[in-house]
Amino acid sequence: MRSGVPSRPEEGGRAAFARHLGPNWYASVMGTAIVANAGAGLPLSFPGLRTFCLLFWALSLVMLAVLLTARAAHWIHHRDQARAHLLDPATAPFYGCLAMALLAVGGGTMLVGKDWIGLRAAVAVDAVLFTAGTVVGLGAAVAIPYLMAARHGLRPGSASPVWLLPIVAPMVSAALGPLLLPHLPAGQWQEALLLGCYGMFGLSLLATLVLLPVVFARLLTGPRLPLFLVPTLFLVLGPLGQSVTAANKFADVAPHVVQDPYAQGFGMLAVLYGVPVTGFALLWLALASAAVLRARRQGMGFAMTWWAFTFPVGTCVTGAEGLARHTGLHAFEWLTVALYAFLLAAWAVTACLTLRGLLRGTLLPRTT
């Protein structure tokens, strides 16, 4: 995903490789982790599935560690570029990806990583990553829109689906927070986390409802998105699928945390909210797919924006898994499997092209 920040000549100092390493690279961690997280809840089982998910979780954990180290070098050795990224409206929203990468890997630790490191260690790792991801996500949800309003000098018609990234991060916290509930003391602690997640659900959902019409208006009235940004239309699926996932997670844990009628209310929310939003997500998936196919015919090449084909689709998988569980409908099970197959294909293509770009030096120039 291009930063839009012009490069500056540099004399090959320390950590030169990290100069152009923007926060958008965390999308690759998100896209890898969601393969494990979504696979762990599939309504089918076959030999090797659990091991397959475990390998993807391990890969995402390694990728996260490498990127955190590289991004730390970026901030230490290239502060001018880091500040330029924050002041660039094309790059700053990707700081939401840092939060979501932390959260996705943490959630995967509880879902599949515990098979390798044990439940106690998994809870500790997820607690750290969930806390850090939530703090970063809430900070980005406030700071990035503020910068966009006060410093970025945005013009009419410049709206982009990328703008959704900072405000989706709290929704990821809302969806993954319930995994920690059983490991908290009963009573006030559990209820505070559940309602805190519900509050972040509302924060992200209402912010999305404000921004999405602006993005859709640009699609209808122009100017058209540059070809390399067309895949970001898939980012709209993120808040949709993740909110359905969160609603279903609330329904899973609410009976053990709050009394009726609130517990029943969460159960009704999962279906009454989840089904129509899933319907809209499928509509948007068809629209975004048609736009991508058209852009491909017009010459759209590979860019890091292709990682938008992974995590947002994965959230629709986890949302459909929850609806299959709470409705018992086989149709949602079939939808889950179909979306997961799409996710695997998208990850395989995008990961291979990313690796090729790294080896050829087209994604991260070796020299500047």
By the 8 A CB rule, do 137 and 96 touch?
yes
pLDDT of residue 311: 97
- Of residues 75, 125, 77, 67, the one with CA closest to residue 101: 67
Please tell me the pTM assigned to this model. Answer: 0.92
Alpha-carbon gap, residue 119 to 146, rounded angstroms: 40
Q: Are 215 and 163 within 8 A, CB to CB?
A: yes
Q: Do 42 and 340 touch, CB atoms closer than 8 A?
A: yes
Q: pLDDT grade, residue 9 (50/70/90)?
A: very low
Nearest to 104 by CA among 272, 263, 270, 307: 307
| pLDDT tens track for 160-200 | 999 999 999 999 999 999 999 999 999 999 999 999 999 99
- The pLDDT, as a whole number, for residue 12 is 44
Q: Is the pLDDT of residue 231 over 90?
A: yes
SS3 of 259-322: the string is CCCHHHHHHHHHHHHHHHHHHHHHHHHHHHHHHHHHHHHCCCCCCHHHHHHCHHHHHHHHHHHH
Give the list of residues 6+ apart from residue 121 with CB closer than 8 angstroms, or none: 114
For the cut 60, the answer to whether the pLDDT of residue 363 exceeds it is: yes
pLDDT (average), residues 87-106: 93
Average pLDDT over residues 274-280: 98
